[in-house]
Amino acid sequence: MPTLELPGAELYYETAGAVSAPALLLIPAGIATLRMWDEVVDDLAADHFVVRYDPRGFGGTRHDFSVPFANHDDAVALLDHLGVERATVVGASRGGALAIDVALAAPRRVAGLVTIGARIGGFPDVEPSADEQRRLDEVDAIDALADPAGYIRLETAVFAIGSGRSASDIDPGYLARAHELAEPNVAHVADDGDQVPLDPPAAERLGEIATPTLAMVGEFDLSPFAVQFDAIVDRVPDVTGLRIAGTAHLPSVERPAEVGTALLDWLGERGL
């Protein structure tokens, strides 16, 4: 089990593909772990050196949450550890926010940027639809410390199902996979730690992102993520926007072949 020791943490990571190939750094969503990329890694690794890891507070990474840290610094430290000078950084949801921060904090290290249903650091709150708010309130009604498994399970269902559809509308195998990906995070439910945010935040700096960018969002993702997708497409100078039909917050899990093909096509077009 490869890990990188950092002050207050041991980051769990995995690699695939030839070290000499163009590098990809994959960062998971907050309702998953690095396992969310399992279905696309082999195809990506055919022509790329693929690095994926669990940020602090997730999956197989251990950390002392009393030690301050910056997530974007951890990502760059992992690239340093592996001798990767530049990488295309791919992030989903919370991992998308982290990927954007890396592109802003260390632009010389980022060859390309890919966001999937990304959050944006410092973005103003977006009001969910009435139905979304009702389901999010049900999640918030659970005491995460008293019932971490119940909290994670309901939260995962809300995001995996998305807006405008129900559990009966989706493949039960996909929903089971979403719960499987989220389960390791039950142990980290109180594990956010003392995070040092990017300053100024990404929401104020999207226009500074000079690297080629691919932004994706699921057709049925929750309203706040759809709005933030639009902000990325509107404000990042060199961006391609793509909506993935028939998916919600985890397109690379729900439609891995489609997302993998779209990503590889874009990487090929951009020479990345």
Strand partners, 53: 13
CA dihedral angle for residue 25, residue 84, residue 2, residue 94, rounded to 10 degrees:
-30
**Architecture of the 3-125+192-270 domain:** 3-Layer(aba) Sandwich (3.40)
Task: Quote the CA–CA distance of 192 and 65 in Å, as a whole number.
Answer: 7
Q: Is the pLDDT of residue 1 over 80?
A: no
Residue type, position 33, single letter: T
- Burial grade of 137 (CB within 10 A; 0-12, 13-18, 19 or more): exposed
Going through 134-190 in order, the beta strands assigned E by DSSP cover none
Average pLDDT of the residues of the chain = 95
Q: What percent of the chain has pLDDT over 90?
A: 89
Residue 206 DSSP symbol: G
Residue 262 has which token pair? 């779209």
Closest to 90 (Cα-Cα) out of 174, 214, 229, 241: 214
Band of pLDDT at residue 137, cut at 50, 70 and 90: very high
Task: Quote the CA–CA distance of 76 and 224 in Å, as a whole number.
Answer: 28
pLDDT digits (tens, 9 = 90+) for 180-208: 999 998 888 777 778 899 999 999 999 99
Band of pLDDT at residue 53, cut at 50, 70 and 90: very high
Q: Where are the domains of the chain?
A: 3-125+192-270, 130-188
What value does the mean pLDDT take over residues 225-229? 97
